[in-house]
Chains A and B, each alone.
Chain A
Amino acid sequence: MDPTPLYLEPRLDEPLASLVESAEFLHTLTDALGSPLNILLPDQAAANVERFRAVFRRHSLSGEICLAHKATRSSAVVRRLAATGAGIDVASLGELQHALGAGFTGDRIVATGPKDPDFLWLAARTGAVVHLDGLAELDLLAELVRKHGLPRTRVLPRLSGFASAGVRVRSRRSRFGVPAAGLDRLIDALDRHRDAVDPIGTAYHLDTTSLDEKALAFEGCLVALDALRRRGFAPRAVDIGGGFGTGYLADAAQWERYTTELRRAVLGERQPLTWGGHGYGLRAEGGTLRGALGLYPAHRPLSGPDYLDRLLARTAPGLGRGLGALLLDSLGDLRIAPGRALLDQCGLTLAAVAEVRREDSGDTVVRLAAKADDIGLEDHGVLVDPVVVPRAPAADPAPAAVYLTGSLCLESDLITRRLVHLPRLPRPGDLLAFANTAGYCMDFGATRAQGRPGARKVAVHRDAGRWQWCLDDRYWPIGRTGGTPA
């Protein structure tokens, strides 16, 4: 084993940090409810809304902060946010029904993504804002509104493919949205359907970490807003979607070191760091690295509300003034729909250690009472160490490097392909706590493969220093976490 352990310690803020320390509480929960177990902190999601709101205030902007529902299936989180001023972005009929059932009224809901007629009908019926993904969707929506006598529906055309002057800024092709170059045709269509739809603004969502691309899109939306105004509409909002990101790791130096060592391992300059020499997308060709590192940038110097702040302060490439100032000048509202960033520090996934085996090869393999798809970090390219939550204090814990496997009867059921360095070797009965899984990494891709039950979800909150809990679907935001009223 390499002498220096390559830790990737999770960033743990309060109260998640205290929760991870609460070994007895966590063991009680998994003893009762089984492994794996997902734990959510709904109050933290509400606190995150406030942090985004503070950025709005700093730029004197008003508007909506919507949770991108797709990032979580938790009822507790959605219900908790229904009790704040936040809105919600739903991307399917099921999510829309869930949001309505959690207490969101239609005026605080925005429907995004590809839409079937039933999804469109319920959205229009309940007064939700509808993102328009294309002209066909606009025609379909207008027809539904007229045919079924639905109220005039507020829409936000989603634009893509923004052109830049001088330097061509390439963006990855998006499957969604109307090309900005086709704006005139779009406005013609909105004009034809003026009786059925009311464009309240323009929208983009770009799957990129690049501020330059986003600045270009933001400016494109402002220009489109102006074009709508000239044609006699009264648009007010620019919806910039999500993608503000989250920092998963506590320490930049650990991430820098790990990624350098991974490259060295791929080039054969050190012992492998992964199961079967997996390169996470990198490969060596004649001593040179090829391929792209297929990992989420787990340590991010700029993410979440700070990322939004920076974007708003950024100068529009063509109009030459800060984007936030331009939006405000244009009397516009800002709408955002973060998923991952709103769920930062909002949950963790627990898995019990089922077996610890030392193989002939010298590797230590820790099998968990969970499947790889229960712990979605790896699937989303997030590399971060779990925290060992011991059942009993160990006399002298020894550091260890282990492979983590799931309990499916399947070779590929690896929780992560990475050799994980831990400050203490886990023992059967210990728990591993995977922190910060609430956004995308909890139940996004969980299956019932081989007849194994899915993880249960519980919501917790801290009350006078004591942790209270209830099942996720029994949570309502009325001042107690399940159980009997205080």
Chain B
Amino acid sequence: MRYDSITDAIGDTPLVRIAPEVHGLRNIDLYAKLEMLNPFGSVKDRAAWNMARPRIADAQARGATVVELSSGNTAKALAVIAGMHGLRFKSVTNRMRVPEIKDLLLLLGAEIEELPGQTECLDPGLADDPLTAVHRELTAMGDAHLHTDQYFNERNTEAHAAGTGPEIIADLDGRAPDWFVACVGTAGSSTGVARVLRAHDPGVRVVGLVAGKSDFIPGIRDIDEVREVGLFDPAAYDAIDAVSTDDAVEGMVTLMRRCGILAGPTGGAAYTGAVRRLRAVDDTLTERATAVFIVCDRGESYLGYVRRHRPELFGRAAADPNTVASVSAAEAESAAALDPAAAREWIARRRPTVVDLRSPFAFRALHIEGSINIVDEVFGELVRGGLPFGRRQPVLLACPVGEQSARYAALLARMGHEEVYSLAGGIIGWRDAGAPLVAD
């Protein structure tokens, strides 16, 4: 397959059958539409390109910035498309809570602006939803922008009505599936596909999935938030179900580990939501049926998100006996410690290595003359990997209040260091005792 431009590689994604032993449905063939295999990584490539394409030449002539409210995938696609055409791209959002995606967008050259959070005191002057507020702001900016407006732009839906939907029918040998299940963000993909499937076969049942109100699933909205979306029409769906973070992660893991599909959270949510719906009808079927769900994007960008919800999926670090966490309160309590006066005397006499465990930022501002700075996290690594001093070296450990240093002193003593003390009361105690501190 040879292309002149990467944008020509958008679309024509595979439809892959999920093995029945994975989903356990007896009478239904379940297929995943792998939108994750689009070149910029998601279902949004189609919409972004379809919305931007007709306006790019004009934007280039005006030197306009491409602007969109997007929490991730649309921004990713638009950042690439803008970059390829020599345009700047700015994403305005209050929903971007996945750090890896933020970093990726910055790498792709996007500018990101985060909208402020809700006020703590009620301010009746703040009357606009973010979408309306940004619309107003863009109008004030004049022609210097190309706003793709994904929540209201019919070309978003059309991209799927022209591409995603017909591809599904073609891959099912000219038949619409009996069920179609998709997560709802802008509603573009679900509405566009549903339109085509229904036109082909009015009997198709369309299930839209939204996040539960207390769940956060990156890329989609909850049942209230979808009501702010211009493209969203409740009549486009036969049912709207809520999915949870657990559903999303559980589905991701199944798709990854059992199907070889490296799906992101909404792909996982769509799988779980689809199977839950279908299981309820499976036994009542007398003929074979088919169902299709969308895998919107890939899982690699969501490692932090998954780790927060299911740390055990990442396994536990091999037990290391020498971690500061292994030091008991009693051990720390009985660690050798010197109060500021005694410490000053000992420093003058023994010339120990004084290790300050605070952050470099605070160390630069004020520290004990001659001390060296190894921030506690790094010190913890060194304890395991190899300390830059020997066991006979006299060492004074210092932290803000003497708690962390006592734990490390106990740990080093346990490891055979002969002359390690903790500064009792820490640098704060040292300061309060009137002992000198210097700045860099």
Nearest residue (CB) in A for B90 is A168
**Segment at the interface with B among A129-137, A322-330, A459-467:** A322-330
Q: How far is the CB of A308 from chain B (nearest CB, A)?
A: 13
Nearest residue (CB) in B for A173 is B116
- Chain A residues in the interface with B (C-beta under 8 A): 60, 166-172, 207-213, 222, 226, 229-230, 242-243, 245, 252, 256, 259-260, 263, 267, 281, 286-292, 294-297, 301, 319, 321, 325-326, 328-331, 340, 379-381, 440
Alpha-carbon separation in the docked complex, A170 to B93 (Å): 10
Nearest residue (CB) in A for B135 is A290
The reply to whether B400 and A329 form a contact with Cβ atoms under 8 Å apart is yes
The reply to whether B365 and A226 form a contact with Cβ atoms under 8 Å apart is yes
Residues of chain B lying within 8 A (CB to CB) of residue A229: 365-366, 439
Alpha-carbon separation in the docked complex, A381 to B120 (Å): 10
The reply to whether A292 and B128 form a contact with Cβ atoms under 8 Å apart is yes
With A210-B118, A288-B232, A329-B358 given, can you name 9 additional A-B contacts, CB distance below 8 Å? A172-B126, A207-B120, A207-B121, A208-B120, A295-B122, A297-B118, A329-B359, A329-B362, A330-B362
Residues of chain B lying within 8 A (CB to CB) of residue A226: 361, 364-365
Nearest residue (CB) in B for A322 is B359
B359 in complex: contacting residue of A167, A286, A319, CB < 8 Å: A319
Q: Can you list 9 residue pairs at the A/B interface with Cβ under 8 Å?
A: A168-B113, A172-B126, A210-B118, A212-B114, A281-B127, A291-B127, A295-B122, A329-B400, A331-B366
Asked whether any CB of chain A lies closer than 8 Å to the CB of B213, the reply is yes
Asked whether any CB of chain A lies closer than 8 Å to the CB of B374, the reply is no
Asked whether any CB of chain A lies closer than 8 Å to the CB of B169, the reply is no
7 smallest CB-CB distances across A and B, nearest first, come from: A210-B117, A329-B362, A381-B122, A329-B358, A243-B120, A328-B400, A256-B213
The reply to whether B115 and A170 form a contact with Cβ atoms under 8 Å apart is yes
Residues of chain A lying within 8 A (CB to CB) of residue B102: 166-167
The reply to whether A267 and B127 form a contact with Cβ atoms under 8 Å apart is no
Residues of chain B lying within 8 A (CB to CB) of residue A292: 126-129
A260-B213, A301-B214, A331-B362 given; A208·B224 CB < 8 A: no
A252-B214, A288-B229, A326-B362 given; A213·B117 CB < 8 A: yes
Asked whether any CB of chain A lies closer than 8 Å to the CB of B228, the reply is yes
Q: How far is the CB of A302 from chain B (nearest CB, A)?
A: 12
The reply to whether B116 and A213 form a contact with Cβ atoms under 8 Å apart is yes
Asked whether any CB of chain A lies closer than 8 Å to the CB of B109, the reply is no
Alpha-carbon separation in the docked complex, A331 to B366 (Å): 9
The reply to whether B112 and A167 form a contact with Cβ atoms under 8 Å apart is yes
Interface size on B, residues (CB 8 A): 49
Asked whether any CB of chain A lies closer than 8 Å to the CB of B227, the reply is yes
B227 in complex: contacting residue of A230, A289, A319, CB < 8 Å: A289
Alpha-carbon separation in the docked complex, A303 to B232 (Å): 33
A260-B223, A290-B132, A328-B401 given; A321·B375 CB < 8 A: yes
The reply to whether A290 and B122 form a contact with Cβ atoms under 8 Å apart is no
Asked whether any CB of chain A lies closer than 8 Å to the CB of B14, the reply is no
Asked whether any CB of chain A lies closer than 8 Å to the CB of B418, the reply is no
- Chain B residues in the interface with A (C-beta under 8 A): 96, 102, 106, 111-124, 126-129, 131-132, 213-214, 223-224, 227-230, 232-233, 358-359, 361-366, 375, 400-401, 403, 427-428, 431, 439
Alpha-carbon separation in the docked complex, A329 to B129 (Å): 40
Residues of chain A lying within 8 A (CB to CB) of residue B126: 172, 292, 294
Q: How far is the CB of A263 from chain B (nearest CB, A)?
A: 5
Q: How far is the CB of A224 from chain B (nearest CB, A)?
A: 12
Alpha-carbon separation in the docked complex, A117 to B213 (Å): 50
Nearest residue (CB) in B for A256 is B213
The reply to whether A60 and B112 form a contact with Cβ atoms under 8 Å apart is no
Alpha-carbon separation in the docked complex, A252 to B361 (Å): 41
A331 in complex: contacting residue of B112, B113, B127, B428, CB < 8 Å: B428
A207-B120, A291-B129 given; A170·B232 CB < 8 A: no
Alpha-carbon separation in the docked complex, A212 to B93 (Å): 13
Q: How far is the CB of A88 from chain B (nearest CB, A)?
A: 19
Alpha-carbon separation in the docked complex, A484 to B252 (Å): 68
Nearest residue (CB) in A for B131 is A290
The reply to whether A208 and B400 form a contact with Cβ atoms under 8 Å apart is no
Nearest residue (CB) in A for B213 is A256
Q: How far is the CB of B331 from chain A (nearest CB, A)?
A: 18
Alpha-carbon separation in the docked complex, A179 to B427 (Å): 31
The reply to whether A260 and B114 form a contact with Cβ atoms under 8 Å apart is no
The reply to whether B111 and A168 form a contact with Cβ atoms under 8 Å apart is yes
A167 in complex: contacting residue of B106, B119, B122, B366, CB < 8 Å: B106
Residues of chain B lying within 8 A (CB to CB) of residue A256: 213-214
The reply to whether A222 and B361 form a contact with Cβ atoms under 8 Å apart is yes
Q: How far is the CB of A329 from chain B (nearest CB, A)?
A: 3
The reply to whether B122 and A326 form a contact with Cβ atoms under 8 Å apart is no
Alpha-carbon separation in the docked complex, A230 to B129 (Å): 43
Q: How far is the CB of B116 from chain A (nearest CB, A)?
A: 5
Alpha-carbon separation in the docked complex, A345 to B3 (Å): 66
Residues of chain A lying within 8 A (CB to CB) of residue B127: 281, 291-292, 294
Residues of chain A lying within 8 A (CB to CB) of residue B375: 321
B361 in complex: contacting residue of A267, A330, A340, CB < 8 Å: A330
Residues of chain A lying within 8 A (CB to CB) of residue B359: 319, 321, 325-326, 329
A321-B375, A328-B401 given; A263·B214 CB < 8 A: no
B116 in complex: contacting residue of A60, A171, A291, CB < 8 Å: A171
Alpha-carbon separation in the docked complex, A183 to B361 (Å): 18
Alpha-carbon separation in the docked complex, A267 to B228 (Å): 11
The reply to whether B427 and A380 form a contact with Cβ atoms under 8 Å apart is no
Q: How far is the CB of A201 from chain B (nearest CB, A)?
A: 13
Q: How far is the CB of B336 from chain A (nearest CB, A)?
A: 20
The reply to whether A380 and B118 form a contact with Cβ atoms under 8 Å apart is no
Q: How far is the CB of A6 from chain B (nearest CB, A)?
A: 15
Q: How far is the CB of A307 from chain B (nearest CB, A)?
A: 10
Residues of chain A lying within 8 A (CB to CB) of residue B118: 208-210, 297
Q: How far is the CB of A219 from chain B (nearest CB, A)?
A: 10
Residues of chain A lying within 8 A (CB to CB) of residue B428: 328, 331
Alpha-carbon separation in the docked complex, A297 to B96 (Å): 20
Alpha-carbon separation in the docked complex, A295 to B126 (Å): 11
Alpha-carbon separation in the docked complex, A263 to B129 (Å): 13
Residues of chain B lying within 8 A (CB to CB) of residue A210: 116-118
The reply to whether A326 and B106 form a contact with Cβ atoms under 8 Å apart is no
The reply to whether B361 and A319 form a contact with Cβ atoms under 8 Å apart is yes
Alpha-carbon separation in the docked complex, A60 to B407 (Å): 15
Residues of chain B lying within 8 A (CB to CB) of residue A230: 365, 439
Nearest residue (CB) in B for A290 is B132
Nearest residue (CB) in A for B97 is A212
Which of B213, B359, B366 lies at the interface centre, i.e. has the most chain A CB atoms within 10 A of its CB?
Answer: B359
The reply to whether B129 and A290 form a contact with Cβ atoms under 8 Å apart is yes
Q: How far is the CB of A286 from chain B (nearest CB, A)?
A: 8
Residues of chain A lying within 8 A (CB to CB) of residue B124: 281, 294
The reply to whether B232 and A207 form a contact with Cβ atoms under 8 Å apart is no
Alpha-carbon separation in the docked complex, A60 to B357 (Å): 15
Alpha-carbon separation in the docked complex, A329 to B437 (Å): 13
Residues of chain A lying within 8 A (CB to CB) of residue B123: 207
Alpha-carbon separation in the docked complex, A297 to B118 (Å): 9
